[in-house]
Amino acid sequence: MQPADRRTQLKLATGSGIERKVLGTIPRHIIHRSEGENGAESVGAFRNEQDERAARAVTAEINAVRIDERQLAKVLGGSQHVLHLFKQDRGLTWDDPFFVLRNDARGEYFFGQLAWPASYLLEFQKDDGLSLKTGPLTANALRVLAAGETIASPGVHLGCVKGDFDATARAMHDHIRRSVLPRPPAERSCRVQYIHPEDQPLTVYRGDAYNETGVKKCMDVAAATGMEVFIVDGPTWCSAYGNWLVPDTRRFPGGLKPLVEYAHRTGLLFALYAEPEGGREGYTSVGHGATIGPWSWSKVFREHSDWFVQPQSVLNLAIPEAAAYMEAELGRIIEHYGLDLYRHDFNAPQRGEGSVTPRNGFVESDYWRHYEALGGIVTRVRGKYPNLILQQASAGGTRLELDALACWHEHYTSDRASFPEVAARRALA
């Protein structure tokens, strides 16, 4: 990154979905991303002071985790060169660690993205030029290395563009498409998908009505309206967490094979949702919907309860044996059901520091090893099943940073989707 002119007022935008504060003079043209109620996001460009004041008022109302004001005061009091300090310490959240800077004197924009899904730090210092410090953030050791061990640190993607903000956004997107995203199977990419989440109120057949007959009716509608992929979404098709090869026999007495065959007969690809990474200890969908049993009903939990971090029964992929189990289980799910698309979910965000492990006299955060293992699992599964689409929907919009984008073909950006229900209900009546 070329140093900025020290006389230039730099315009800063960070890409977190939690509280935003620009220290010192807030510029008139920044890109602001804020998280509202229940994680809903808003994005906008401030073109004038009125918009800026309104956005600052909204930001002040956000009740997410906040920057330690006393710590900031010490930093700013000790050095007048700190332009901006921001930290996100909630663990996995609904945000992406990126920034955009503008140099007014040279007409340049700089962008950067940290390929890391959990807590992180962004710090900018202005002296003769502009320096950036960014990386994972934890109160404990990030990684304890064994003798002779070599690791790769999380990547930082940087770019410099001579042009306006739109050109910068296009350049960043071009870079991601060209150098980050894996190529999906050509014949299965960009397919129109029909999602059937039993655990969402927008779904027609829920609770007692959620069964093979109801799902097949939805497949008929999907095929008649030109859909190409049918996703059996939500975990409540299954008997219990960890029993992913055993559907709920009350709802699907013949298993899921009749649904797979019916989808293919109607010209649809078949997709299935699962949560083999853990994150929920049993679940009943909202509004007296269907229920899936807890992890404690599964063989893997009974034999290896030490692999799971409580509460929420998160499978700790920092444990090599647990990671090997998940990789094998993913293969079993894909092959057992003959999937065309696999949809992965993980519903344990905002765990703060998360779990830790003592190693060689240090206390190590498990995040680095967990996400390193997860990325390796998905990459190997992608290579083993080249015709399979891999989609991640972790907590409805987390894991959208470049580390995750480099592994999965598709990403579900939000659970907050709705549609006019009347016409759909009439069609399915």
pLDDT tens series, the chain, 429 aa: 333 333 233 334 444 332 222 222 222 222 223 333 333 333 333 333 443 443 343 333 222 223 333 333 333 334 555 567 788 999 999 988 999 999 888 889 999 999 999 999 998 887 777 888 999 999 999 999 999 999 999 999 999 999 999 999 999 999 999 999 999 998 888 999 999 999 887 788 999 899 999 999 999 999 999 999 999 999 999 999 999 999 999 999 999 999 999 999 999 999 999 999 999 999 999 887 899 999 999 999 999 999 999 999 999 999 999 999 999 999 999 999 999 999 999 999 999 999 999 999 999 999 999 999 999 999 999 999 999 999 999 998 999 999 999 999 999 988 766 555 544 455 555
The whole-angstrom distance between residue 400's C-alpha and the CA centroid of its chain comes to 4
Is the sign of the CA dihedral 60, 65, 70, 74 positive or negative? negative
Q: What is the per-residue pLDDT for 368?
A: 97
Q: How far apart are CA 351 and CA 67, in angstroms?
A: 17
Q: What is the per-residue pLDDT for 193?
A: 96
Residue type, 191: R
Q: What is the per-residue pLDDT for 367?
A: 97
Q: How far apart are CA 356 and CA 354, in angstroms?
A: 7
Q: Which residues pair with 31 in a beta bridge?
A: 45
- Reported as half-sphere exposure (CB side, CA atoms, 13 A), residue 266 has a value of 25
Q: How far apart are CA 320 and CA 302, in angstroms?
A: 18
Q: Does domain 186-428 have CATH number 3.40.190.10?
A: no
Q: What is the per-residue pLDDT for 53?
A: 42
363, two tokens = 């206390």
Sequence spans of domains, the chain: 10-179, 186-428
Q: What is the per-residue pLDDT for 104?
A: 86
Q: What is the per-residue pLDDT for 131?
A: 86
Q: Which residues pair with 274 in a beta bridge?
A: 344
Q: What is the per-residue pLDDT for 413?
A: 85
284, two tokens = 């009943």
Are 429 and 205 in contact by the 8 Å Cβ rule? The answer is no
Q: What is the per-residue pLDDT for 420?
A: 52
Q: What is the per-residue pLDDT for 427?
A: 54
Buried-state track 165-202, b at ≥16 Cβ within 10 A, e below 16: beebeebbeebeeeebbeebeeebeebebbbbbbbbee
Q: What is the per-residue pLDDT for 2?
A: 35
